Amino acid sequence: MSVDDLLQQTAEWLRGEGPMSDVVISSRIRLARNLATFPFLSAASDSQRTEIYRTVVEAASASPLCTGALAVDVEQSDEIDKEVLVERHLISRQHAQGEGRRGVLVSPTETVAVMINEEDHVRMQGLRSGLQLDVVWSDINQVDDELEEALEFAYDARFGYLTACPTNVGTGIRVSVMLHLPALKMTQEIDRVVRAAQDMRLAVRGLYGEGTEAVGDFYQISNQTTLGKSEQQIMDDFGENIIPKVVEYERTARDALAAKRSYLLDDRIWRAYGVLRAARVIGSEETLHLLSHVRLGINTGRFDPFGIETLNDLLMSTQPAHLQKAHGQTLGGEERGRLRAELLQERMAQAE
């Protein structure tokens, strides 16, 4: 499997399936681990770094979940491939832009990814569509167990798993859920939700994690600290309490918009479609923003020219690196804008 093959498929997490998928795009759990027999990366030599890389790749490749996996040597990858992995949420931007021997292993449907030598020696990620933290947890736990059979992780009886950054010490778990909250944005209630989340010491970020804006009404909510709470507590907090509440707010806001002046909602949805269908040059941010409105239309039954599969495909294939990868070359912003518009027209026409 190669990065090229990724473009031929829709990642499981983007399929729009799973519970509450009208609001919840995806559920992610990430575990941070370090090998006990090597120093943290900040203190590791180049040869130690290479040794860590080889050790983890070998152990992970033996894991059944990684059968048929994509293995990418990120250090050797070209810029577009690295960006494709970022756009697919398989590696962090930090990992793409980092230096030295590093890589990622990705399971065939992209539900599991193991980053090697990002901030920690190992960062495992489970990612699925909709709100299904339990399934993701089971995926990731299995990989963790399998890796632990072959590797010795740095663990302290008092603190738990040791990590490069203190906020990850303990369970080393980070749970994050990607939400689509266009109605809360329209009714301006989103600020209240964000503040409430922050009061609960949760981080609220945009589509591509830390430091990114919530373009297209996509929000990531994640826990910030891992010490002092069990994995199960953190997941229960998210899966049974916090996220369902936010989903309920969003659904209520959608109903309110539909009940009050439904034509304003329709106007928003159909104009977005009109522009996406007609533009001859369009940027990725605007595309995301407009696709967000169409997504709302699909999920509220107000839009029917095509379904969620097409929408999700467009969300990914219109991203800059995906566009360039599909065209086999680096393109300037202007050219990307034109090709993006062409792609939108073609795919929409096919789907309709």
Residue numbers at the binding site for a copy of itself (CB under 8 A): 263-264, 266-267, 270-271, 273-282, 338, 341
**Considering beta carbons, is residue 201 or 280 the nearer one to a copy of itself?**
280
**Considering beta carbons, is residue 322 or 340 the nearer one to a copy of itself?**
340
Closest CA to 203 of 176, 177, 222: 222
**Considering beta carbons, is residue 237 or 342 the nearer one to a copy of itself?**
342
CB of 159 to a copy of itself, least distance (A): 57
**Considering beta carbons, is residue 104 or 341 the nearer one to a copy of itself?**
341
Judge contact between 13 and 127, C-beta under 8 A.
Answer: yes
CB of 100 to a copy of itself, least distance (A): 42
Residues 6+ apart with CB under 8 A from 348: 276, 277, 305, 306, 310, 314
Whole-number Å distance between alpha carbons of 32 and 14: 24
**Considering beta carbons, is residue 36 or 264 the nearer one to a copy of itself?**
264
DSSP state of 242: I
CB of 287 to a copy of itself, least distance (A): 13
CB of 344 to a copy of itself, least distance (A): 11
Say what the alpha-carbon torsion angle 339, 216, 113, 84 is, to the nearest 10 degrees.
20
DSSP letter string, 146-206: HHHHH--B-EETTTEE--SSGGGTBT-EEEEEEEE-HHHHHTT-HHHHHHHHHHTTEEEEB
Provide the b/e sequence for 259-291 (b: ≥16 CB within 10 Å): eeeeeebbebbbebbebbbebeebbbebbbbbb
CB of 250 to a copy of itself, least distance (A): 22
Judge contact between 13 and 128, C-beta under 8 A.
Answer: yes
**Considering beta carbons, is residue 236 or 342 the nearer one to a copy of itself?**
342
CB of 339 to a copy of itself, least distance (A): 11
CB of 274 to a copy of itself, least distance (A): 3
**Considering beta carbons, is residue 204 or 256 the nearer one to a copy of itself?**
256
For 143, half-sphere exposure in the C-beta direction (CA atoms, 13 angstrom radius) is 32
Whole-number Å distance between alpha carbons of 158 and 27: 29
